[in-house]
């Protein structure tokens, strides 16, 4: 009995192959986008783990000083029996990028990932220690190192991308620095050692950096996951639409099977088994497609993470079986969720129910009003979370309630808009078009909801990125007021450069900084001179009246917005910079793109407390026509590398380039989501095209050609898409508001002003129209080619 | 008025062509009412579809007054349906998204021949005055058929073709509906052809044609 009944159910798909394809492709797309995003996240996390296992992230103790740690300190500690090992880190500019150099001493360093090749015998260790040196880099970094002047390299997959492990002496030479950054202190030390304080003046700190990257990038991955979830939900709309239609069309078959003696429970089990089989096949195809999408997205994500957080993520995608299994599970769960309603309907269907398929998903007015009531409740919840939420999770919950609420409200809003349009004067066909469009809203509502979400995501993310870009560009103009930025390779060269530049420049502004923890988190403290460059240009968000006087005389400190928001520091509050140095906060400035806290005070006050910090960087004010000439001279006379004398426009260009790359992934996901929404519309229109005949045939019989009917079909679809687009604009702006004022503030610590881009909306309306046109093209072509006999069959008495 | 000569029509069926009409000829005068009877599959509906410009014959000629119908392309046939020939079906006659009032005036407005007074008179005579704001799904079968009749004659067509318009109705309602159709067709000056299985109803029309295996006998 099972086999016979199952085959009878399956025969439906043979008669409706398009519906089968719709169901499978919908589930495949949903799984692909979700699992693709998850694969990207998993790869990024694997990279963080590798980075965390590296030197800078290992939770070891370290000895640091006010400035570079002299090698003599290392020697003294080793002689005293202390197991310490030197580490120096720095960025080495390359032709098109930079390389993170980590200098270690292979003979004293604790075991660490990446150094394995030195332990394998052979000549790797002698070469590593030799004068010429040897770099150990990740396979994806190797192609960047083909230029002249760099030591030879070998590869290890354990080294994070963009990083090179070298002998610390070679690092000193390449970075042009004396001493090292810190000394690692092994956890296990020999017995009977003299106290550290007797051997050295260096400070012992516990490294809190472990998992920093994972922590910093959490919000980014949450963002990505939210996008994946959105795409998954849009895909499930397609699946639910297809499953629902299939169940409706099989009402008569189901009734007959029951009448012939197949028990309801057996029938339900067979339907569930059919769904399980289809979901498994589609899920597997979705996983394969998801892997391809992830591989395509990963370079963009890597660029984003590098741009936003300085986190290096491998551009190569690995395959994790756990990922595949979880993706398949989510696919099956999604199919179950999409099919649950239909299965429930079958379970409730009386055996003597009408066999004629009802217009599927044609919700009654009451159902639409109920949906509207739920929508209003969700929108109210979203509003409440926006104003009283106060956390990142609340921010995302606010977004979810907003999007689901708006999607649920869509049918009622569209019906309202169409009713308004019906009041305007129109011809008989216009009247029919609008009335017909109203009738089509309920069965098309799932596809239209998918379109609404995709369009709103486009507007919301576009507005956020555009606002960010506008603010960032303006901020760069303010922040990068100096015409030239010069970095010396050592203190002696810094003195020479100063002497050279002083008579030529309008002003020479030192940029000296110290890395210090502020309120327990890593931060930078800068010292600046009193100059109009700062007074006139610095992007202050809030300040006391005499802010610059206070900063200049070292009686006040400026802090960046991130630090102020994270630690809830108000103007006038005292900020502890070191245990014996506290200053009142005199101003807060915007500092986009930086996740760390930052503070600025007078340079004299800073120098007095940190006299040994290297003073290598200068911002140079000079007439713009002299910039190129001075740059050339610096390179010629001092042999200064290009990267050490950068003009303002180059820095801006670089920053904006990083910015643009940062949001490449969002744009890619936007396009994919819109594509899925267009596919949802196509599948809905295709599914409905069979049910449309009884609605269109009377109009055809009354004297409209199939061609004119097709034109009206297109007009109706485009009208619904444009009205959806119209509603997507306020929703998208609300989404942007939440992103800018809640999610960004909670995730990054900065609040951005919102800028509107109406021209983008017009483009998006155009895209929505094109998506709707593309979606209705096939069903409409089928309509124009429909033989008269098919239309007449609608009226046939002897069917 | 309406003239058909030697109409032939066949359809592909299970790999071969099934001849439905095998040389049917008929003539109808203005205001004349004709019943077309025959067994299932005899070709009644096919003939009605050809006369109503809903389909084209494989061979033969059809003309209405001076207009040759069988040569018309889809646009020409649509224009005929829109303005000169009205068809009433047994079911699915109405446009589900429009109200009764909108359905009633739809075809006349489509043909740009809307006459408010005539439509108002039709509304009264058909007893639809209280139903104007309702949608088709909210009407009974008889009410739906009355709206379909009203829509057909509101146009003042030259020919009204009805394909078993009372097939779904009980006897009493069927009689009422037929009375209305005949009265209104006569008042609007139209020729009236009705396909029916019922000899009782067929007997009430001016003339009766019987189709058997694709031929009028």
The answer to whether the Cβ–Cβ distance between B97 and A438 falls below 8 Å is yes
CATH of the domain at B169: 3.40.50.300
Identify which of A699, A702, A797 has the shortest CB distance to residue B164.
Answer: A797
Nearest CA in chain A to B39: A798
Q: What is the DSSP letter of A180?
A: B
Q: What angle do CA A156, A74, A71 make, to 5 degrees?
A: 85
Cα dihedral: A183, A188, A193, A199 (round 10): 10
Structural domains counted in chain B? 1
Q: How many CA atoms lie within 13 A of A71 on its CB side?
A: 9
Distance from CA of A793 to the nearest CA of B (A): 10
Q: How many CA atoms lie within 13 A of A86 on its CB side?
A: 25
Nearest CA in chain B to A784: B74
Say whether residue B111 is in contact with chain A using an 8 A CB cutoff: yes
Nearest CA in chain A to B98: A435
Residues of chain A with pLDDT under 50: 55-59, 207-211, 354-363, 798-799
In degrees and rounded to multiples of 5, residue A553 shows phi and psi of: -90, 10
What is the distance between the terminal CA atoms of chain A, rounded to a whole angstrom? 30
Number of residues that make up chain A? 799
> Looking at beta carbons, which residues of chain B come within 8 Å of A707?
74
Q: Which of A702, A706, A796, A799 is the best residue to mutate to test the B interface, defined by the most B CB atoms within 10 Å of its own CB?
A: A702
Q: What angle do CA A165, A169, A172 make, to 5 degrees?
A: 85
Say whether residue B166 is in contact with chain A using an 8 A CB cutoff: no
Cα torsion A63, A65, A71, A76: sign: negative
ipTM, interface predicted TM-score of the complex: 0.77
The answer to whether the Cβ–Cβ distance between A703 and B167 falls below 8 Å is no
Residue position matching structure tokens 């936007």:
A670
Please give the helix or strand (H or E) that residue A528 lies within, else none.
Answer: strand A521-528
Nearest CA in chain B to A433: B97
Distance from CA of B54 to the nearest CA of A (A): 7
pLDDT at A687: 67
Domain boundaries, position B202: 31-58+73-207
The answer to whether the Cβ–Cβ distance between B95 and A701 falls below 8 Å is no
Distance from CA of B127 to the nearest CA of A (A): 23
Give all strands of the β-sheet with A203-206 in edge-to-edge order: A153-155, A135-137, A163-167, A98-104, A84-93, A182-185, A61-64, A203-206
The answer to whether the Cβ–Cβ distance between B11 and A789 falls below 8 Å is yes
The answer to whether the Cβ–Cβ distance between B89 and A707 falls below 8 Å is no
The verdict on residue B189 lying in a domain is: yes
Q: Which of B39, B93, B95 is the best residue to mutate to test the A interface, defined by the most A CB atoms within 10 Å of its own CB?
A: B95
Cα torsion A616, A617, A622, A625: sign: positive
The answer to whether the Cβ–Cβ distance between B54 and A704 falls below 8 Å is no
Domain range annotation of chain A: 1-57+235-358, 60-207, 484-622
Residue B120 has pLDDT above 50, yes or no: yes
The answer to whether the Cβ–Cβ distance between A702 and B107 falls below 8 Å is yes
In degrees and rounded to multiples of 5, residue A775 shows phi and psi of: -70, -35
The answer to whether the Cβ–Cβ distance between B11 and A698 falls below 8 Å is no
How far apart CA B152 and CA A737 sit, in angstroms, is 56
Say whether residue B70 is in contact with chain A using an 8 A CB cutoff: no
How far apart CA B111 and CA B106 sit, in angstroms, is 9
Looking only at the bridges linking them, the beta strands covering A153-155 and A135-137 are: parallel
pLDDT at B28: 92
pTM of the predicted model over 0.90:
no
Say whether residue B80 is in contact with chain A using an 8 A CB cutoff: yes
> Looking at beta carbons, which residues of chain A come within 8 Å of B13?
none
pLDDT at A209: 41
pLDDT at A528: 87
Say whether residue B93 is in contact with chain A using an 8 A CB cutoff: yes
> Looking at beta carbons, which residues of chain B come within 8 Å of A705?
74-75, 78
Say whether residue B23 is in contact with chain A using an 8 A CB cutoff: no
How many beta-carbon pairs below 8 A join chains A and B?
Answer: 89
The verdict on residue B163 lying in a domain is: yes
Identify which of A431, A697, A792 has the shortest CB distance to residue B102.
Answer: A431
Q: What is the mean pLDDT of chain B?
A: 87
Residue position matching structure tokens 């057909």:
B152
The answer to whether the Cβ–Cβ distance between B97 and A435 falls below 8 Å is yes
The verdict on residue B82 lying in a domain is: yes
Identify which of B78, B80, B92 has the shortest CB distance to residue A704.
Answer: B78
A39 and A192 Cβ atoms separated by less than 8 Å: no
Say whether residue B144 is in contact with chain A using an 8 A CB cutoff: no
Identify which of B81, B109, B163 has the shortest CB distance to residue A428.
Answer: B109
Residue position matching structure tokens 């009995």:
A1
Distance from CA of A369 to the nearest CA of B (A): 19
The answer to whether the Cβ–Cβ distance between B45 and A797 falls below 8 Å is yes
The answer to whether the Cβ–Cβ distance between B107 and A695 falls below 8 Å is no
pLDDT at A210: 40
Q: Minimal CA–CA distance to B93: which of B37, B162, B34? A: B162
Our separate counts of H helices and E strands in chain A read 27, 18
Say whether residue B87 is in contact with chain A using an 8 A CB cutoff: yes
Say whether residue B135 is in contact with chain A using an 8 A CB cutoff: no
The answer to whether the Cβ–Cβ distance between A792 and B79 falls below 8 Å is no
> Looking at beta carbons, which residues of chain B come within 8 Å of A796?
45
Q: Distances from the Cα of A779 to the Cαs of A423, A430, B95, in angstroms?
A: 30, 21, 20
> Looking at beta carbons, which residues of chain A come within 8 Å of B167?
797
The verdict on residue B118 lying in a domain is: yes
Give all strands of the β-sheet with B191-195 in edge-to-edge order: B85-88, B159-163, B191-195, B33-38, B207-212, B215-216
Neighbours of A9 (CB within 10 A): 20
| Coil, strand or helix at A601 | strand
The answer to whether the Cβ–Cβ distance between A698 and B95 falls below 8 Å is yes
Nearest CA in chain B to A693: B92
């Amino acid at each position: 009995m099972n086999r016979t009944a199952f085959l009878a159910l399956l025969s439906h798909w043979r008669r409706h192959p398009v519906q089968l394809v719709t169901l499978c492709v919908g589930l495949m797309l949903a799984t692909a986008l979700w699992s693709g995003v998850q694969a990207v996240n998993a790869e990024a996390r694997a990279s963080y783990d590798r980075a965390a296992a590296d030197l800078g992230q290992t939770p070891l103790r370290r000895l640091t000083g006010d400035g570079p740690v002299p090698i003599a300190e290392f020697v003294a500690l080793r002689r005293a029996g202390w197991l310490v090992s030197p580490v120096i880190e720095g960025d080495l500019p390359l032709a098109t990028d930079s390389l993170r150099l980590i200098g270690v001493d292979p003979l004293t360093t604790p075991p660490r990932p990446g150094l394995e090749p030195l332990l394998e015998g052979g000549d790797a260790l002698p070469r590593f220690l030799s004068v010429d040196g040897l770099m150990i880099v990740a396979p994806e970094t190797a192609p960047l190192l083909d230029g002249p002047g760099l030591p030879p390299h070998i590869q290890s997959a354990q080294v994070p991308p963009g990083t090179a492990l070298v002998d610390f002496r070679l690092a000193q030479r390449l970075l042009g620095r004396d001493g090292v950054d810190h000394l690692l202190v092994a956890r296990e030390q020999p017995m009977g050692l003299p106290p550290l304080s007797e051997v050295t003046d260096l400070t012992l700190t516990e490294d809190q950096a472990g998992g920093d990257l994972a922590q910093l990038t959490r919000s980014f991955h949450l963002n990505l996951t939210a996008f994946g979830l959105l795409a998954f939900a849009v895909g499930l709309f397609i699946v639910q639409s297809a499953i629902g239609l299939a169940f409706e069309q099989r009402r008569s078959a189901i009734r007959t099977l029951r009448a012939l003696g197949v028990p309801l429970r057996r029938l339900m089990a067979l339907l569930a088994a059919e769904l399980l089989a289809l979901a498994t096949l589609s899920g597997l195809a979705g996983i394969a497609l998801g892997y391809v999408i992830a591989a395509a997205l990963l370079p963009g994500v890597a660029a984003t993470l590098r741009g936003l957080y300085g986190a290096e993520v491998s551009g190569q995608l690995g395959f994790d079986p756990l990922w595949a299994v979880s993706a398949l599970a989510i696919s099956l769960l999604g199919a179950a969720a999409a099919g649950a309603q239909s299965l429930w309907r079958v379970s409730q269907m009386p055996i003597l129910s009408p066999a004629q398929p009802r217009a599927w998903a044609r919700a009654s007015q009451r159902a639409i009003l109920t949906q509207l009531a739920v929508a209003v409740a969700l929108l109210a919840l979203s509003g409440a979370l926006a104003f009283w939420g106060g956390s990142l999770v609340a921010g995302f919950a606010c977004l979810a309630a907003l999007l689901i609420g708006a999607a649920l409200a869509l049918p009622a809003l569209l019906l309202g808009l169409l009713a308004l349009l019906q009041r305007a004067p129109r011809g008989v066909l216009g009247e029919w078009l609008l009335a017909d469009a109203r009738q089509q809203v309920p069965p098309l509502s799932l596809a239209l909801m998918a379109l609404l979400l995709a369009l709103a995501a486009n507007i919301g993310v576009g507005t956020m990125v555009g606002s960010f870009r506008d603010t960032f560009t303006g901020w760069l103009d303010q922040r990068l007021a100096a015409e030239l930025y010069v970095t010396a390779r050592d203190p002696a060269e810094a003195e020479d450069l100063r002497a050279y530049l002083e008579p030529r420049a309008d002003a020479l502004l030192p940029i000296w900084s110290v890395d210090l923890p502020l309120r327990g988190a890593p931060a930078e403290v800068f010292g600046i001179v009193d100059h109009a460059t700062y007074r006139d240009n610095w992007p202050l968000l809030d300040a006391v009246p005499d802010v610059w006087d206070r900063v200049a005389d070292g009686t006040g400190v400026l802090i960046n917005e991130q630090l102020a928001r994270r630690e809830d520091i108000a103007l006038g509050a005292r900020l502890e910079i070191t245990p014996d140095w506290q200053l009142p906060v005199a101003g807060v400035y915007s500092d986009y793109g930086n996740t760390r806290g930052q503070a600025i005070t007078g340079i004299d006050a800073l120098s007095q407390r940190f006299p040994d910090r290297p003073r290598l960087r200068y911002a140079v004010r000079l007439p713009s026509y002299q910039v190129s000439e001075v740059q050339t001279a610096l390179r010629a006379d001092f042999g200064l590398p290009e990267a050490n004398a950068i003009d303002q426009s180059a820095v801006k260009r670089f920053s904006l380039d990083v910015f643009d790359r940062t949001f490449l992934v969002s744009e890619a996901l936007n396009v994919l989501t819109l594509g899925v929404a267009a596919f949802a519309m196509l599948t809905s229109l295709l599914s409905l095209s069979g049910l449309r005949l009884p609605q269109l045939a009377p109009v055809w019989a009354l004297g409209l050609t199939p061609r004119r009917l097709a034109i009206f079909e297109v007009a109706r679809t485009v009208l619904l898409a444009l009205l959806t687009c119209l509603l997507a604009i306020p929703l998208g702006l609300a989404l942007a508001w939440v992103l800018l004022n809640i999610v960004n503030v909670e995730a990054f610590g900065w609040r951005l002003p919102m800028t509107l881009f109406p021209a983008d909306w017009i483009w998006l309306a155009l895209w929505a129209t094109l998506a709707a046109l593309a979606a209705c093209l096939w069903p409409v072509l089928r309509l124009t080619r429909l033989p008269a006999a098919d239309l007449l069959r609608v009226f046939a008495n002897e069917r | 008025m309406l003239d058909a000569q030697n109409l032939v029509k066949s359809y592909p069926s299970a790999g071969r062509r099934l001849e439905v009409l095998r040389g049917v000829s008929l003539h109808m005068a203005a205001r004349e009412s004709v019943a077309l009877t025959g067994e299932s599959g005899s070709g009644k509906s096919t003939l009605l579809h050809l006369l109503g410009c809903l389909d084209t014959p494989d061979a033969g000629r059809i003309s209405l007054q001076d207009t040759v119908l069988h040569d018309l392309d889809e646009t020409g046939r649509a224009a005929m349906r829109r303005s000169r020939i009205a068809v009433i079906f047994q079911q699915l006659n109405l446009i589900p998204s429009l109200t009764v009032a909108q359905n009633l005036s739809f075809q006349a407005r489509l043909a740009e021949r809307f006459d408010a007074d005539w439509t108002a008179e039709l509304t009264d005579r058909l007893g639809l005055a209280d139903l104007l704001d309702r949608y088709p799904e909210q009407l009974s079968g008889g009410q739906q058929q009355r709206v379909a009749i009203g829509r057909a004659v509101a146009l003042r067509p030259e020919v009204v073709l009805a394909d078993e318009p009372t097939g779904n109705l009980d006897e009493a309602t069927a009689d009422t509906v037929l009375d209305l159709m005949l009265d209104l067709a006569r008042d609007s000056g139209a020729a009236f052809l009705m396909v029916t299985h019922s000899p009782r109803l067929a007997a009430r029309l001016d003339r009766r044609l019987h189709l058997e295996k694709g031929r009028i006998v």
